[in-house]
Every structure is written in C-alpha cells, then in structure tokens.
Amino acid sequence: MLNIVLFGPPGAGKGTQSQKIIKKYGLIHLSTGQLMREHIAKNTDLGKQAQEDIDNGKLAPDNVAISIVKEQLDKARNPKGFIFDGFPRTVNQAIALDKLLKSKGWDIDALIMLEVDREELINRITRRSKTSGRVDDQDLEKIFTRIQVYKDQTLPVANYYKEQGKYEPIEGSNSIEGIFEKICSILDRYAS
C-alpha cells in the first residue's frame, strides 16, 4: 500500500499532479476541497457546515474534514493506496488521520511538499478563476486569505511529518511534466 500526503499552498498543483499520480499508480484521489464542494452542491449537513468558511478562504471545521475522509476510507475496498490532497490541513487533522489509518493497519508513507512562491500561486489562481467557478478563486482578498491561512494553520502539518522522517520537498514551479517526474522518482522509492 502507498499512502501519500500531497501538500502545498493554494494553487501549488496538488489537484493537477494528483490526477497524473492516480492514473499511473492506481491510487485513490482524496481531495477534501473537492469533496466539500460536492457536499455543498448537494446541500448536505456537512456541506452546510463548510460553505461559509470555504467561500471566504478559511478552513472548514476539523470535524467536517475528518468525517469526509473517514467516509472515503471506509468505502474503499482493497485500495492500493491514497493520495491525500488538501488533507490534513491542521495538526489535529493529522493526528486524526493517523488514528483512522492505524485502525485499518495502514500508515502514511510520505508527505510530498510542492514548493511554489507566492507570486506564482497568485498568478495561477487568478488565471484559473476565469473557468473554475470557485467562489474562493474570485477575488484577490480571498486568495490572500487562503495563502495566509495556509501559513498559519497548515504549514505546521509539514513539521509533524518531518519529525517522523516522512518529509519530501520538491520544487513546484517547473513544468507540470517535470514536477510529475520528480514525484514519480519519490513514489517509486516508497513503492518498492
């Protein structure tokens, strides 16, 4: 089994690289942002709890994120592994994830950090805002809030995995293919 946290600030390329990874390695993509947007679209209780925070670029409550992940883990039948995209986003979530995985005899292998500078993130999200339909892409203030929330609340998660010797940083500003190659060389190491 191969369980990877694909980590990085808003616009770092987590979703883009996840699509390529799941195709090549047969892993399950678990994006809490995407799943929350689906809950909002279906107007579920979890969606209602998350909507205001998501629209404003803040983090949804931990319990919402954890419930969504638990549901997906429980649903999977003999998975080859998971790409966690946008989760865990707080140290509380990281601790909860460890517990959930442990209860199934699973574990996180590594956290891959996509390092991209602020200007590039803002450019990418602004470009995407024309087609994404995402409320949180639509104005600069919200994009700034997301980047700040990442620094304040999410970056400590990287340390949590660093302390466990599971931290794999890579430069995330190159071409999509170039970044994917680097990711593959890391994954091949853990998969063998």
Choose the one of ligand AP5, Mg ion, none that binds residue 13, judging by a C-beta under 5 to 8 angstroms depending on kind: ligand AP5
Count interface residues toward Mg ion (CB under 5 A): 2
State the catalytic residue, choosing from 89, 124, 142, 166: 89
**Shortest Cβ 83–ligand AP5 spacing (Å):** 11
The position carrying tokens 């949180």 is 136
Q: Which stretch binds Mg ion (CB under 5 A): 10-18, 90-98, 123-131, 165-173?
A: 10-18
Which residues fall within 8 angstroms of residue 169, CB to CB, at 6 or more apart? 112, 113, 115
CB atoms inside a 10 Å sphere around CB 27: 22
The position carrying tokens 């190659």 is 181
Comparing CB distances to ligand AP5, the nearer of 72 and 93 is 93
d(CA 122, CA 141): 11
Nearest CA to 113 out of 3, 29, 7 is that of: 7
Site string for Mg ion, 14-43 (x = CB under 5 A): xx----------------------------
Contacts with ligand AP5, residue ranges (CB under 6 A): 8, 10-16, 32-34, 36, 53-54, 57-60, 65, 86-87, 89, 93, 124-125, 128, 136, 146, 175-176, 179
* Residue 175: Cβ-neighbour burial (10 angstroms; 0-12, 13-18, 19+): exposed
Active-site positions read 14, 89, 128, 134, 146
